[in-house]
Amino acid sequence: MTTAHPRTLSTLALLAAAGLALTLSGCGGPAAAGEDDTFVFATGKDISCLDPHVNGDMPQASIAANYLDSLVSQDREGKIHPWLATDWSVSDDGLTYTFTMRDDVSFTDGTKLTAEAVKANLDHMVDPDTQSGTAGGYLKPYVGTEVVDDTTAVVTLNRPYAAFLEVLAQPFLGIESPEALKRPQAENCNSPVGTGPYRIVDYVPQSKVSLVRNEDYNSAPPYAGHEGPAHLERIEWRIVPEDSTRYGLLRAGQVDALDLMPSVHVGEAEADPNVELILQDRPGNPTNLILNTTRAPFDDLAVRKAFLHSAYVDAGIDSVYFGTVTRAGGPLSSTTGFYSPDFEHVYDPDPDEAARLLDEAGWAERDDEGYRVKDGERLTVHFPYTPGAWPTAHQALVTQIQATAKKAGFEVLIENGDGATVSELGNNFAYDLRADYWNTNTADVLRIVFSSEYTESAGFVPNGSGFRNPGLDGILNDALATDDPAEREDLYYQAQQIVSDNALQLPLYNQASQVALRNDRYGNLALEPSLSLPYLYDVTAVDSE
Amino acid sequence: MSLTLDPATTPVDGSAASAPSTTRSRTSRLVRGTPIGVWIAAALLAFLVLAAVAPSVFLRQDPFEIDPANAFQSPDGVHLFGTDQNGRDVFSRVIAGTGQSLLLGLAATAIGLVLGGALGITAGVSGRWLDSAICRFVEILFAFPGLLLALIVIAVSGTGVVTAAIAVGVGSAPGYARMLRTQTLQVVAAPYVETALALGRSRSHILWHTIVPNVARPLFVLVTLGIGQAIVWASSLSFLGLGAQPPAAEWGAMLADGRNYLQVAWWIAAFPGIFITLAALTTTVVGHHLQRRLEAEV
């Protein structure tokens, strides 16, 4: 869910894929999609591995929501409900969870779902070889699972973890066939097996994933609109990174739905009677630029604060996002539990304050090009960046931040590189700025993005600031150990305060699901509640209604 | 490398004496025999060169000054080419990018020529064994399309303007190597080389004073033709995000920036695109004309 992880494809490959899509858009009539009952979904970001346990980026969770079920489910209000587990109990000390599993569910490879699957999956997520930054990251308190009988699994944790059930509800922690997990990782990445409404039949990396309906599906979550098999027989999940191409395909009728709806076309899509927009802010840590505190110049708090005060973000959100995203100024997205609005305007643009802070920090002089210098060193900020991994508007926004930071005397070097290169730099703290976000359904995101526990790489480094603060660590762990909402509210307020005071991130805007659907053909595309990902199980063809 | 050619000191072959002798008749013939299209191309090329050498003549706004409130303005009197997604003046950026694009084209061509020249001339003057070794090597490089070769260089050495120039240079080197080898073989077989040999000149003297100047003669044409191609390749690399880095005003990078706004703000991509085309077209037209001139003279 952060963005800095190993991706095998380069910018070039992204463009090649886009070029292919462009070619496709050039030929064929408008009614190409849907004719043979194949629902075509165009996603904007490449999928590194179809198994969401590995690494853990949003596109993986997005597709996983359609072929994996989870142990428990979460509704829009945040309440936890049964799913593959029919029931569970938590010990008084919060360290032991006993799950009762359904006994009438099978994986699409024929393996029967038993308590053994809980053990195999959780063990797989915490296995260092899995390089599971997201799922494995969430399971740091995990000790082990004891399989009592076919339907009873007892999970032990090493500390109370109030957010445990919430993260279990995310597709990142979806339950896969234990038999399939035994295969080599590369194989499981191409053809993971779940109990979900669809199964994967073909995967062409950087191009498309083909899914067919699981005819025996009997384990729909409580939030679903129906039971039994899905309405649509086939799904083609097409990877189309180029924003304008993806939208063009939707307009031309070659795809039925898309995600990462390009901001520049939202107005046009709103006016189109054949297009339905499904927009929803996501909880978690907002889209941001995180400041690496482990090296100069951002090891100096005053310089970090000056940088934050130098950035004009609102103007960019109005101009290139056309107001389609909501500004975020604090460490939590506004839809996250225990979010406080008090930190939204702490670092509003303030050139005078930025100048004062930099003067005090010793960066008082400027060179010929207007950049600040200290002891002959220029105030340079290295920002490795993969343009292909971000929406077009994001690329423009970072250029604007570069320009406004220059006025304050920062030389921001946007260094374009492919995903693998940027990720490698990210794993070694070899950057000053990193573009990031973290979608999750709990305020515990603060622990993942800012606590010292997450400064090591597991495929990627969740805490890109490298910030280590025992006080903050303690508060965030205390918040997991209590059920008292008032106490948690207080602790998460303190945590937001510490993060804000230390100027660890330049928050930009709330992450949002931005899905567009051709509603002249299909209806009932909903977002699953845990991460607001597109959920195709209930989608129906308009003709058949 | 020297691009100035003096027919008096560089014999082309035995018939060189029949070439027109006075400067005046040469010039007037050049003017009369030149099609109007070439004049237009030459004028445009002169404009590009002027924009590259002295951009301030044309600049009316700071090409890097953002103004989000005025993003996506269509072309008008204030912004001749409109403004981009960050409210920057597209005309200023295109003009500011001319220098970089032309310089990239020149530098890449120079690198390609030096590398290709070293390989080609060495092959041409060497014995059978080294000649065929170099030829096989060049053929292997030929198996890769030039741009792909450039991408390999970028993959190894990282992104940036300097690397892009080297990459495009390396990418074009095999072509130059092959042409220059053929040229060298012709020159080596020419009577004046035999004469030089007969006069007892040393091998290195003959190489540097007789062979290289004569091989270099058609280079002028190759360079003009090559620059156009190099500009397109360098722009391609920047388009892919592998060349100039933001906020650089480089045509390819600007084209890449604008491509996702084509449906709402065509001018962001169109004008850099037009300038890439112009630069490639004008250098190619002028180059072809010079080539025909040269052939007619010979």
Q: Does A380 touch chain B (CB under 8 A)?
A: no
Kindly state the percentage of chain A with pLDDT values over 90.
Answer: 85
What pLDDT does B27 receive?
57
Q: How confident is the model at residue A13 (pLDDT cuts 50, 70, 90)?
A: very low
pLDDT of residue A161: 94
Averaged pLDDT for residues A280-308:
96
Please indicate if any CB of chain A lies within 8 Å of the CB of B266: no
User: What confidence score (pLDDT) does residue A115 get?
Assistant: 97
pLDDT beyond 80 at A244: yes
CA A297 to CA A410: how far, in whole Å?
A: 10
Would you list the DSSP string of A240-266? Answer: ---HHHHHHHHHHTS-SEESS--GGGH
- CB A28: neighbour CB atoms within 10 A? 12
Beta strand pairing call for A234-239 and A38-43: parallel
Per DSSP, chain A holds a count of helices (H) and strands (E) of 17, 25
Closest CA to A441 of A80, A130, A142, A30: A80
- Please spell the DSSP secondary structure of B123-164, one letter per residue: HHHS-HHHHHHHHHHHHHHHTS-HHHHHHHHHHHH--SHHHH
How far is it, in rounded angstroms, from Cα B184 to Cα A350? 66
In chain A, which residues have their Cβ closer than 8 Å to the Cβ of B269?
Answer: none
- Distance set, CA A157 to CA A93, A370, B20, B236 (Å): 10, 54, 95, 53
Residue range A448-468: mean pLDDT, rounded: 92
Across all residues in chain A, what is the average pLDDT?
Answer: 91
pLDDT at A21: 40
pLDDT-above-70 percentage for chain A: 93
Per-residue confidence of chain B (298 residues) as pLDDT tens digits? Answer: 333 333 334 444 433 334 444 555 555 555 667 888 899 999 999 999 999 999 988 988 899 999 988 999 999 988 999 999 999 999 999 999 999 888 888 999 999 999 999 999 999 888 889 999 999 999 998 888 888 888 888 888 878 888 889 999 999 999 899 988 998 998 888 888 888 888 888 888 888 888 888 887 777 778 888 888 899 988 988 888 888 888 989 999 999 889 889 888 999 999 999 999 999 999 989 888 888 887 776 5
Distance between B166 CA and the closest CA of chain A, angstroms: 18
The partner residue sitting opposite B259, judged by closest CB among A244, A318, A404, is: A244
A318 and B246: CB-CB below 8 Å? no
Quick one: pLDDT at residue B208?
A: 86
- Cβ A314 vs Cβ A468: under 8 Å: no
Instruction: Provide the residue count of chain B.
Output: 298
Find all residues with CB under 8 Å of A298, minimum gap 6, and list them. A291, A292, A304, A307, A381, A432
d(CA B22, CA B8): 12
Helix or strand run (H / E) with residue A213: strand A208-213
* 8 Å CB contact between A57 and A528: no
Selected residue with higher pLDDT from A479 and B199:
A479
Residue, of A285 and B202, whose pLDDT is higher: A285
Q: What is the pLDDT of residue A24?
A: 39
**Is B263–A399 a contact, with Cβ atoms under 8 angstroms apart?**
no
The mean pLDDT value for A475-486 works out to 93
CB atoms under 10 Å from CB of A265, counted, come to 25
Distance, in angstroms, between B262 CA and closest chain A CA? 8
Q: Residue A227 — pLDDT band, cuts 50, 70, 90? A: very high
Please report the pLDDT score of residue B25 as a whole number.
57
Asked if A429 contacts B115 with a C-beta cutoff of 8 angstroms, the reply is no
Length of chain A: 545
Q: Which residues in chain A have Cβ-Cβ distances shorter than 8 Å to B261?
A: 244, 264, 392
Sign of the Cα torsion A53, A54, A60, A66 reads negative
**B127: exposed, middle or buried (C-beta count within 10 Å: 0-12, 13-18, 19+)?**
exposed
CA separation for the pair A93, A418 (Å, rounded): 46
Q: How far apart are CA B168 and CA A63, in angstroms?
A: 40
Measure the N-to-C terminal CA separation of chain A; round to a whole number of Å.
Answer: 36
List chain B residues with CB under 8 Å of A403: 64-66, 86, 247
Cα dist from A528 to A169, A293, A509, whole Å: 10, 36, 21
What is the pLDDT, as a whole number, of residue A304? 98
Q: Would you state the structure tokens that stand for residue A545, as one six-digit string?
A: 């209604």
Residue A244 backbone dihedrals phi, psi, to 5 degrees: -70, -30
Per-position DSSP letters for A109-129, written without gaps between them = TSPBP-HHHHHHHHHHHH-GG
> Taking Cα atoms as reference points, which of A233, A202, A215 lies closest to residue A36?
A233
Question: Looking at per-residue confidence, does B2 or A542 come out higher?
Answer: A542
Q: Record the pTM.
A: 0.84
Q: Which residues contact B14 (CB under 8 A, 6 or more apart)?
A: B191
Q: 319-348 in A: which are within 8 Å (CB) of B?
A: 319-320
pLDDT of residue A17: 41
Cβ A248 vs Cβ A44: under 8 Å? no
Q: Which residues of B touch A316 (CB under 8 A)?
A: 68
Mean pLDDT, range A22-44, rounded to an integer: 60
Amino acid at B97: G
Interface check for B47 against chain A (CB to CB < 8 A): the answer is no
pLDDT confidence of residue A369? 93
In the A/B pair of chains, how many CB contacts fall below 8 A?
Answer: 80
- A242 reaches B (C-beta below 8 A): yes
DSSP B61: S
Cα gap A30→A71, rounded to integer Å: 41
With contact defined as beta carbons under 8 Å apart, do A160 and A93 qualify?
yes
Amino acid identity at A127: D
- For residue A73 the two structure tokens come to 């489910």
**What six digits make up the tokens of B154?**
């970028």
- Which band of pLDDT confidence, cut at 50, 70 and 90, is reported for residue A417? confident
Give Cα A505 to chain centroid, integer Å: 17
Contact A496, A330 (CB under 8 A): yes
**Does the CA dihedral A296-A301-A305-A308 come out positive or negative?**
positive
Q: How far is B81 from chain A (nearest CA, A)?
A: 18
Q: Does B64 touch chain A (CB under 8 A)?
A: yes
Residue-level pLDDT at A33: 45
pLDDT of residue B16: 39
- Contact of A42 with chain B, judged by CB distance below 8 Å, is answered with no
CA-derived radius of gyration, chain B: 22
Give the sign of the dihedral formed by CA B16, CA B19, CA B21, CA B24: negative
* pLDDT on residue A334: 94
Question: What is the model's pLDDT at position A302?
Answer: 97
Backbone angles phi, psi at B257, to 5 degrees: -60, -40
